[in-house]
Amino acid sequence: MKFDGIKIKICDMIDDRYMFDDNVEFIEELLSFSAENLKHKEIIRIKRLSTEVNSWKTLIFIEIAADSESEIKTELKNALSWVAAVKENLLGPESTDLYLFLAFNYDIGVEECLRIESTEQFCRKYVLLQNEEISDFVNRTFLQKLLSSEDTAQGTDPLERAFSNTLAQFSWFTPELQKRWKKSFSELSGSELFDELLKGGVNL
């Protein structure tokens, strides 16, 4: 399986920021919803260590093993049906923190991989490109640790540019507020960011 060892690689990247869900029974339940022909699959659930919100991100890993066009379409359809079933069984905001990591045994062109990634039906998708190293693949997903503001030049960081433009227009955008906004937008995503905004962690 092309994703062999990916959990270890992910753990090495994020163990200082995320914890892994050890609820094996729930993960096995989610796995049971898949079609029989999806033989290479795995689910990992992670939660950011710095958040008090009890909400998990669900990562689905699937390798499409078929090697003919018709079988690939069938297996891919079954894969997306399984993703939909998993989404239906995730509670509340967890249903929006669902990510599909997809690999093909057959040589799929870059254009098709990018097309699949661009469709956000059910969840955000990432497709392993042919000859792409697992570490490079993971580094282009949301799991990649964002650079700190000290390591990023203001002229090349979109967040810094946005803050600079906001400060030029609004005097209430104090350094303290900038620091809190930067921390929230850099460290949180999806339901975590939404919950942080709702509970007043960022003053809008």
- pLDDT tens, 38-94? 788 899 999 988 777 778 999 999 998 888 888 888 899 999 999 999 999 998 889
Q: Which residue has the tokens 């339901």?
A: 191
For 11, 48, 71, 78, the CA distances from 64, given in Å and listed in that order, are 24, 29, 9, 10
Question: How big is the CA angle at 150 (ends 47 and 204), to the nearest 5 degrees?
Answer: 60
DSSP state of 155: G
Q: Output 169 or 130, whichever has higher pLDDT.
A: 130
Q: Would you state the pLDDT for residue 200?
A: 46
DSSP element (H, E) containing 82: helix 69-88
User: Which token pair is 143?
Assistant: 């799991």
- Please give the angle made by the CA atoms of 59, 60 and 64, to the nearest 5 degrees: 150
pLDDT exceeds 90 at position 106: no
147 pLDDT more than 60: no
pLDDT at 202 over 50: no
Nearest-CA neighbor of 40 among 122, 103, 133? 103
148: which 2 tokens? 């700190």
Q: Report domain extents, the chain.
A: 6-139, 149-198
pLDDT of 196 reads 62
